[in-house]
Amino acid sequence: MTAAVRQSVPELRNEPRLTLVLALKGRYLFTLRLLWHANEARLPYRILIADGQVHPALARILDSSKAAFPNLDIEYVRYPDDADVSCYYNKMADALARVRTPYAMLVDNDDFVYGSGLEQSINFLQEHSDYVAAAGSIIGFAAYSGLDNASDGLTGRINRLYKYYDATDVTSSAAAERLRRGGRNLWIYYAVYRTEALATICREVAEINFSDLLFHEAYHVMRALTLGKVRLDNASVSYARQFGTSSSAAANRYWARQLVRGRFTEDVRGLVARISSAAAAADGCERSEMTDLAYDVLEAKFGQFLNAVFGSVQEMKARFRDRAPGLIAAWNNRPRFFIGRERERLIAQLAAAGASPPHIAQFRSELADMENAVAGRAFAQFLAPYLSQLRPARDESLDGAATVRANA
């Protein structure tokens, strides 16, 4: 990280303002990549690691985290295995109850955070008490390590860059209007939250105990909107999500089974009851006035999901994927030759949204830091001693907490 970027992100201090809550289940080497990058960037935040699939070798590293990551403030907590969604919900509720900083954010271990965008989000929340969450833009990226994807996306040259969500703030003073405008905005999941709000959402999800993870996602976004306004700063970047490293696609294919055999109707009613009650309390009206709105938002979200996963085009893709999995894998992992153009397009989008030249310079530097973590020699050298202990079997490498957002 350059000196210019470090000036925009405070050095480590005794009381950080933000806790990054990292939920783990597998993908152990990705955890090391995220922490190595954060250590190199000297991110001034607390990192609370909630491990739901403890690997002895990784646990030893994290128990003595200062040896491997001297610039980070890490709290490592072991939890029972995430054997089902209920275990995951309870783990997250407990983890958020442990957070002592005023702000908190959920992070996946195959992704990256950008300190300059996070600082702008925190500063915005400090100055605007009517906002419950704030975020910079979220970008997507992919890594190329050969047609066989030998590293499962862990390392390799950056092969794709794009803006993940095209969205705006949700700024109405009325909860009902916020739900109408933002109820399907998944970027809200990756925002910086006031800790009390994020802890409330995670606690309530554990209480409701949704049978399907898609309801967890929908509830998280909708509940946040009942708590306050949310801010999206398109002139900054706060989070980078990696393409092709989660098992969400596999999870989606079994969604019909969940629909038939799970507690789908009960989940719908439970979500609508909670959201309509919260929205009515926020707007000072009767719950009945909010019930149809909650159903409408949920119907639109799941209609979008069904079309994306089970529409005619997707059905043809699924059949082709079943018949020629190797060819599909090779296509998804093909080398791309326009990464420079994609990088400049991202920068042009930031500039068009109002990013200043110094902030664009910061973004370029932070993007280079991310590329160094994925493709640079320094991370590869750091990783080498741990490969034999932590490299998973190929069919296990896509396990992880990102499956929670099954249609992200």
Question: SS3 for the chain, per residue?
Answer: CCHHHHHHCCCCCCCCCEEEEEEECCCHHHHHHHHHHHHHHCCCCEEEEEECCCCHHHHHHHHCHHHHCCCCEEEEEECCCCCCHHHHHHHHHHHHHCCCCCEEEEECCCCEECHHHHHHHHHHHHHCCCEEEEEEEEEEEEEECCCCCCCCCCCCEEEEEEECCCCCCECCCCHHHHHHHHCCCHHHHHCEEEHHHHHHHHHHHHHHCCCCHHHHHHHHHHHHHHHCEEEEEEEEEEEEEECCCCCHHHHHHCHHHHHHHCCHHHHHHHHHHHHHHHHHHHHCCCCHHHHHHHHHHHHHHHHHHHHHHHCHHHHHHHHHHHHCHHHHHHHHCCCCCCHHHHHHHHHHHHHHCCCCHHHHHHHHHHHHHHHHHHHCHHHHHHHHHHHHHHCCCHHHCCCCHHHHCCCC
Q: What is the pLDDT of residue 382?
A: 94
At 200-231, the pLDDT tens digits run: 999 999 999 998 888 999 999 999 999 999 99
> Exposed, middle or buried, 141 (CB in 10 Å: 0-12/13-18/19+)?
buried
Q: What is the pLDDT of residue 313?
A: 55
- With a cut of 80, say whether residue 390 has pLDDT above it: yes
At 300-355, the pLDDT tens digits run: 888 877 776 666 555 555 555 556 555 655 556 666 677 889 999 999 999 999 99
Q: What is the pLDDT of residue 2?
A: 40
Q: What is the pLDDT of residue 321?
A: 57
Q: 46-51 and 73-78 as β-strands: parallel, antiparallel, unpaired?
A: parallel
- With a cut of 80, say whether residue 401 has pLDDT above it: no
- Centre a 10 Å sphere on the Cβ of residue 303 and count the other Cβ atoms it contains: 11
Q: What is the pLDDT of residue 312?
A: 57
- With a cut of 90, say whether residue 148 has pLDDT above it: no
Provide the residue type at 83 as one letter.
A
Compute CA distances 405 → 216, 286, 367, whole Å.
8, 31, 25
Yes or no: say if 58 and 142 are a contact pair by the CB < 8 Å rule: no
- Chain centre to alpha carbon of residue 386: 25
At 233-274, the pLDDT tens digits run: 999 999 999 987 765 444 555 566 666 777 888 999 999 999
* CATH fourth-level superfamily of 7-404: Spore Coat Polysaccharide Biosynthesis Protein SpsA; Chain A (3.90.550.10)
- With a cut of 50, say whether residue 12 has pLDDT above it: no
Q: What percentage of the chain reaches a pLDDT higher than 90?
A: 65
d(CA 71, CA 198): 26
Domain coordinates in residue numbering, the chain: 7-404
In this prediction, residues 61-88 reach a mean pLDDT of 95
Residue 239 backbone zone (phi > 0: left; psi -120 to 50: alpha; other: beta): beta
At 20-67, the pLDDT tens digits run: 999 999 889 999 999 999 999 999 999 999 999 999 999 999 999 999
Q: What is the pLDDT of residue 125?
A: 98
Provide the residue type at 105 as one letter.
M
Q: What average pLDDT is seen over the chain?
A: 85
Q: What is the pLDDT of residue 210?
A: 92
Model confidence at 159, pLDDT cuts 50, 70, 90, reads: confident
- With a cut of 80, say whether residue 182 has pLDDT above it: yes
pTM for the whole structure: 0.86
Q: What is the pLDDT of residue 6?
A: 40
In this prediction, residues 162-172 reach a mean pLDDT of 87
Question: 274 pairs with which residues across the strands?
Answer: none
- With a cut of 70, say whether residue 5 has pLDDT above it: no
Residues contacting 364, CB < 8 A, separation 6+: 347
